[in-house]
Structure 1
Amino acid sequence: MDNAAMKRFAIKATVFGVISIAVMLQRSATKHIMITDASGVTIDRGTAKDAYKILVDRNVSDSQKGKLTIPLSKSVSSDDIVLEDGYMDHELLIHIDSREEGFYLDNAVVTDLDIFESAICYKENDTGSVCLDFKLDDFYVNESSLTESNTIEIEFARPSRKYDKIVLVNPVYDGESKESTSNTSSSDAALDVAMTLKELSEKDSDNNIKFFFTRTADVAATEQKRIDAIKASEADLVVEIGTGRDYAEEGVISRYNDIFFTRGLNNAAFADKLERNCAKKTGAKAIGIFALEDDDRFLMESTVPGARIEVGSMDSKFLESAGYKKKAAEGIYDAVLEAFEEME
Structure 2
Amino acid sequence: MNNEQMKRVAIKAGIFGAISLVVMLQRAATKHILITDAAGTHIDRATTVDSYNILIDRNVQKGQSGKLIIPLSRTVSSDDIVLEDRYIDHELRIYIDSREEGFYLDNAVVTDIDILRSAVCVAENDSGSVCLDFVLDGLYASSISLTESSTIEVEFNKPSDIYDGVVVVDPCASDIYGMGGAIEIARELKDISAKDEENNLKIYFTDLSGDTVTQQRAAEFVNEAQADLLVALNATKKDDTNGANVSAYYNSQFFLRSLNNAEFADMLERSTAEKLGAVAEGIYEAKEDDMLLNTATIPSARLYIEYESNGDEKKAAEGLYEAILKAEAAVNK
- What TM-score does the superposition give when structure 2 sets the normalisation length? 0.85
Query: What does 1:309-328 correspond to in 2, within 5 Å?
Result: 309-312=303-306, 319-328=307-316
Mark the runs of 5 or more structure 1 residues left unpaired by the alignment: 1-20, 178-184, 313-318
Distance 2:244 2:68 in 1: 51
Distance 1:75 1:245 in 2: 45
**Once the 2 structures are TM-superposed, how far is the Cα of residue 245 of structure 1 from its aligned partner?**
11
Amino acid at match of 1:51: S
Aligned to 1:5: none
Aligned to 1:219: 211
Amino acid at match of 1:64: Q
Aligned to 1:266: 260
Aligned to 1:42: 43
Cα distance, 1:73–1:302 mapped onto 2, change above 3 Å:
same
Instruction: Say whether residues 1:301 and 2:295 are aligned partners.
Output: yes
SS in 1 for 2:296: coil
From 273, 278, 283, the counterpart of 1:279: 273
Distance 2:257 2:120 in 1: 43
Distance 2:236 2:208 in 1: 21
Amino acid at match of 2:223: K
Q: Deviations over 1:1-31 (max 9, x none)?
A: xxxxxxxxxxxxxxxxxxxx9xx89x95994
Q: Deviations over 1:29-83 (max 9, x none)?
A: 99410111111433324343x0100011111111210100011112212211111
Aligned to 1:180: none
Cα contact 2:243–2:278 (8 A) shared by 1? no
Distance 2:145 2:194 in 1: 18
Amino acid at match of 1:324: D
Amino acid at match of 1:332: L
Aligned to 1:172: 172
From 238, 241, 250, the counterpart of 2:230: 238
Aligned to 1:98: 98
Aligned to 2:321: 333
Amino acid at match of 1:240: A
Amino acid at match of 2:42: V
Aligned to 1:61: 61
Query: Would you say how many aligned residue pairs link Structure 1 and Structure 2?
Result: 307
Q: Deviations over 1:111-151 (max 9, x none)?
A: 00001000000011121100000000111111111223211
Distance 1:250 1:80 in 2: 41
Amino acid at match of 1:158: K
Instruction: Say whether residues 1:290 and 2:291 are aligned partners.
Output: no
**Once the 2 structures are TM-superposed, how far is the Cα of residue 335 of structure 1 from its aligned partner?**
1.3
Aligned to 2:137: 137
Distance 1:156 1:308 in 2: 30
Distance 1:85 1:45 in 2: 17
Cα contact 1:67–1:112 (8 A) shared by 2? yes
Cα contact 2:28–2:148 (8 A) shared by 1? no
Distance 1:85 1:231 in 2: 19
SS in 1 for 2:181: helix
Cα contact 1:88–1:221 (8 A) shared by 2? no
Cα distance, 1:263–1:87 mapped onto 2, change above 3 Å:
farther
SS in 2 for 1:196: helix
Distance 2:36 2:29 in 1: 15
Mark the runs of 5 or more structure 2 residues left unpaired by the alignment: 1-20
Identity, % of aligned pairs? 52
- Point out 4+ residue stretches in structure 1 off by more than 3 angstroms: 27-31, 243-246
SS in 2 for 1:187: coil
Structural RMSD (CA): 2.7
**Once the 2 structures are TM-superposed, how far is the Cα of residue 274 of structure 1 from its aligned partner?**
1.0
Amino acid at match of 2:292: F
**Once the 2 structures are TM-superposed, how far is the Cα of residue 229 of structure 1 from its aligned partner?**
1.0
Aligned to 2:3: none
**Once the 2 structures are TM-superposed, how far is the Cα of residue 320 of structure 1 from its aligned partner?**
3.7
Amino acid at match of 2:309: S
Distance 1:153 1:258 in 2: 45
Distance 1:229 1:325 in 2: 25
Cα contact 2:182–2:236 (8 A) shared by 1? no
**Once the 2 structures are TM-superposed, how far is the Cα of residue 299 of structure 1 from its aligned partner?**
1.6
Cα contact 2:276–2:312 (8 A) shared by 1? yes
Aligned to 2:119: 119
SS in 1 for 2:311: helix
